[in-house]
Structure 1
Amino acid sequence: VWNHMIHANGIDSTWNFVDVLGLDEEGMASIPRPCVAMIFLFPITPAYEAFRKKEETHIKVHEQNISPNLIYYKQTISNACGMMALLHSITNNEHIITGPGLFKQILEDTRTMSPDERAEYLENSKELAVLHASSAHQGQTQVSVYMYKP
């Protein structure tokens, strides 16, 4: 789903997302090289939520310095974690954007904005909303029951 979406929106077709089913040596060996980004999918647990809230409080008390070389989009759109990860992966690897499309437009429009301004831009992007909705309805990788170990 993501490969079709990114290639249709200006990302060089030699770059692809692949599923990695483990962080062990075998899982990591399955990743094509070079690799410019990794997106983790994990369940939200009570322990994670407690950690997240603690970190959020820490960040409010202590100033968080984000490198000016990093494009950061503050997430304010609910249920869009994957799309936010995708945007961070693409816009922080500008060399993979080789054609016109939504990702190039988003990067060009938001490059000089603050994270809050970028969040507002994304909230108001009808094109991104349509892209997100269409990809969300296409499905996901099916993990074999034989490969899954709870």
Structure 2
Amino acid sequence: GEVWLRSEATMSGYWGDPEATASALVDGWLRTGDLGRIDPTGCLALAGRRGEMYIRGGYNVFPSEVAAVLGEHPAVHDVAVVARPHEVLGEVGVAVVVPADPAAPPSLDDLLAAARDRLAHHKLPEDLVVVDDLPLTAMQKVDRRALRSLVDLPPPPP
């Protein structure tokens, strides 16, 4: 589920933005937007961001989990995963890959063969887009809006 935090140091709200404050704070609890679970050792294991999760054929998929597995392939320098609409499944994943060697980018089959034993079938990407660099925000995080334009997807609603 969604991770909520509470402490004496929790913020009291967003300056001049009561709507954002109301959606982020509930009875003193901060809604982080992160999704996680308690693992068998009692530790919090984060799965991804609530807004990045997509649903493929009724299954929740976290792009960060898929990207972490694909990123271990030796032919991959960097990778991000974004969802695109699918007529039957609702949404499917598209892997956007920066190859380790631009002259020898990995194929989708290469990536799937390496990931099949680590990811459930519904988490495997359906398509691959090879790029020179992933688009980044000013904070050096993957720019998901720009990423969607790389795979010719409309931007998500605001």
The reply to whether TM is greater than 0.5 is: no
- TM-score of the superposed pair, with normalisation by structure 2: 0.23
The structure with the greater share of residues assigned to helix is 1
Higher relative contact order (CA 8 A, sep 6+): 1
The structure with the greater share of residues assigned to strand is 2
